[in-house]
């Protein structure tokens, strides 16, 4: 008996030693990173790893003005030695901690991987590492030849160290970036007031805010039996009216699969916590605003401090953009959808309660889209008035972007009646609400999507995506569309979408009941 026992112990010891040896590099890397990183540990990766499957998509969709692509081989000693230099520069431009976001996307392609052979051949990679520079879209479906007469893709010929690479970049764009630049405190932020065209950049922030909100919902396990219907309403609104086509598509994919992934009865009996965890797991596989798109830029909504603006600004822009895209018949639905969403899924308690209180003051249903857009505008100004006082007393305001009553006269002089309007508080200003509504439509509607018109995210005639367009952009079509399209011709786009969505649910006969604000 003792012999058998010792044989089992010996076998277990051999198996453990073998597994440790096979995974020793990972174990050591984890230990090193936990200790803050030391000699021999990998530096943090800021450059975006690309391959042939996502190369075009990432470079097409990035908001960055320029891109650098490094072609390397993981077995190449020179490439390994160069990586820390490249990452020192990449940390300035890439990721949520970027010092200068939205300017340069720095990427890497490993030519030692067989999947990338054709891609590296297209760019005539003859030695490692090789660095190329161009506007991101110029890399899409493109290549490079050494003797090419005219090409917007340029070989970087002086980037052997981090200092030399950054100097090369500074010469190209007339900048003066330094390797020791710290986050934010940016003296060159554009003014939102002086240039109304800046709102066009907010399309990326609206995508960022949509993604962040969805991530928060999943991380905090906020989808429960009592909040499930609120999320469905909000997704319906995004599918029909989100200003970003890829967010409409991603929201549609979540919505079409929602009843299968999160059936109403999954929270029954005593399995509530298990059901909540399962929802997080199944929905985390969906990218609500597209895949492989680097995030963390905050273009229009970037503050001058690292704790200001960002997500809250992006969420407000999203709500305003939704309010100017709906039809009259959708105004009450949009109102309840947004109020429910903030009440159930916005985790700033004071903000959530204030917004809910403003929603609860509304006693009559909205019948016009104009009325809802103006209510949201008025609510935003009420929030700003509260924050202006709080930030002044606590000295927490962003010095470059203090809260103001919106819109200021610089952007919309016609919004103010000329006869002696006071400047203190939205309620004391004599507004011309017809002009305010025109401004909201232009600013959060037409101007907000102007950047995407250039990139082909709208229909060729510049109109919003119709139900046909939405159906074509999602992979969830599993039944004939004739009935849904007929409804689309006879009713508003959102009503048609709702019918289309219900037809995809495999006859579950799930009907959402709109409820009053008292039941939020």
- Write out the catalytic residue numbers: 76, 79
Q: Please, how many CA atoms are within 13 Å of residue 416, restricted to the half-sphere of its CB?
A: 20
How are beta strands 66-72 and 130-134 bridged, if at all?
A: antiparallel
Q: Which residues, including other chains, have CB under 8 Å from residue 379's CB and lie 6 or more apart?
A: 355, 358
- Scan for tokens 């051949």, then name that residue: 121
Helix, strand, or coil (residue 325)? coil
Is the alpha carbon torsion for 447, 451, 454, 457 positive or negative? negative
For 4-103, strand residue ranges (E) read 48-50, 66-72
Query: In the beta sheet, which residues pair with residue 49?
Result: 108
Nearest to 373 by CA among 416, 434, 429: 434
- Scan for tokens 């007031």, then name that residue: 193
Number of other CB atoms surrounding residue 483 within 10 Å: 13
Is the alpha carbon torsion for 54, 153, 244, 387 positive or negative? positive
456 CB-contact burial (10 Å; exposed 0-12 / middle 13-18 / buried 19+)? exposed
Give the pair of three-digit tokens for residue 499.
């019918």
DSSP state of 102: T
Q: Are 381 and 426 in contact (CB under 8 A)?
A: yes
Q: Can you tell me the distance from the alpha carbon of 500 to that of 482, in angstroms, rounded to the nearest whole number?
A: 10
Q: Can you tell me the distance from the alpha carbon of 39 to that of 31, in angstroms, rounded to the nearest whole number?
A: 12
């Amino acid at each position: 008996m003792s012999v058998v026992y010792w044989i089992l112990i010996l076998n277990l010891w051999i198996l453990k030693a073998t597994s440790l040896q096979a995974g020793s590099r990972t174990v050591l890397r984890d230990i090193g990173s936990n200790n803050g990183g030391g000699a021999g540990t990998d530096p943090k990766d800021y450059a975006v790893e690309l391959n042939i499957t996502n190369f075009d998509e990432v470079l097409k969709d990035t908001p960055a003005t320029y891109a650098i692509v490094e072609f390397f081989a993981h077995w190449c000693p020179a490439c390994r030695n160069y990586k820390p230099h490249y990452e020192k520069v990449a940390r300035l431009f890439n990721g949520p901690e970027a010092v200068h976001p939205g300017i340069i996307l720095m990427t890497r392609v490993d030519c030692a991987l067989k999947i990338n052979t054709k891609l590296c051949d297209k760019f005539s990679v003859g030695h490692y590492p090789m660095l190329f520079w161009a506007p991101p879209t110029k890399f899409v479906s493109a290549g490079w030849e050494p003797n090419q007469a005219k090409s917007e893709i340029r070989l970087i010929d002086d980037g052997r160290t981090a200092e030399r690479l950054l100097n090369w970049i500074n010469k190209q764009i007339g900048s003066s970036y330094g390797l020791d630049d710290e986050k934010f405190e940016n003296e060159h932020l554009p003014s939102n007031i002086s240039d109304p065209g800046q709102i066009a950049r907010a399309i990326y922030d609206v995508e960022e805010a949509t993604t962040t909100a969805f991530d928060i919902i999943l991380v905090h396990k906020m989808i429960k039996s009592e909040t499930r219907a609120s999320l469905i309403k909000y997704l319906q609104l995004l599918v029909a009216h989100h200003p970003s086509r890829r967010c409409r598509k991603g929201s549609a994919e979540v919505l079409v699969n929602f009843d299968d992934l999160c059936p109403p009865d999954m929270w029954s009996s005593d399995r509530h916590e298990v059901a909540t965890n399962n929802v997080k797991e199944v929905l985390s596989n969906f990218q609500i605003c597209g895949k492989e798109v680097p995030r963390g830029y905050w273009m229009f909504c970037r503050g001058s401090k690292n704790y200001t603006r960002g997500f809250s600004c992006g969420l407000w822009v999203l709500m305003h953009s939704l309010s100017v895209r709906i039809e009259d018949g959708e105004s009450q639905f949009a109102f309840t959808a947004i109020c429910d969403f903030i009440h159930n899924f916005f985790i700033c308690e004071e903000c959530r309660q204030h917004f809910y209180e403003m929603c609860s003051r509304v006693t009559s249903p909205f019948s016009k889209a104009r009325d809802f857009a103006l209510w949201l505008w008025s609510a935003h100004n009420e929030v700003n008035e509260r924050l202006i006082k709080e930030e002044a007393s606590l000295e927490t305001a962003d010095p470059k972007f203090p809260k103001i009553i919106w819109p200021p006269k610089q952007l919309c002089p016609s919004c103010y009646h000329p006869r002696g309007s006071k400047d203190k508080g939205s309620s004391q200003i004599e507004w011309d609400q017809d002009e305010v509504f025109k401004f909201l439509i232009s600013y959060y509607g037409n101007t907000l999507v102007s950047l995407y018109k250039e990139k082909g995210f709208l229909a060729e005639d510049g109109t919003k995506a119709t139900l046909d367009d939405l159906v074509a952009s999602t992979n969830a079509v599993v039944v004939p569309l004739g009935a849904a399209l007929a409804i689309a011709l006879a009713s508003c786009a959102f009503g048609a979408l709702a019918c289309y969505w219900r037809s995809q649910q495999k006859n579950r006969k799930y009907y959402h009941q709109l409820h009053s604000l008292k039941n939020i």
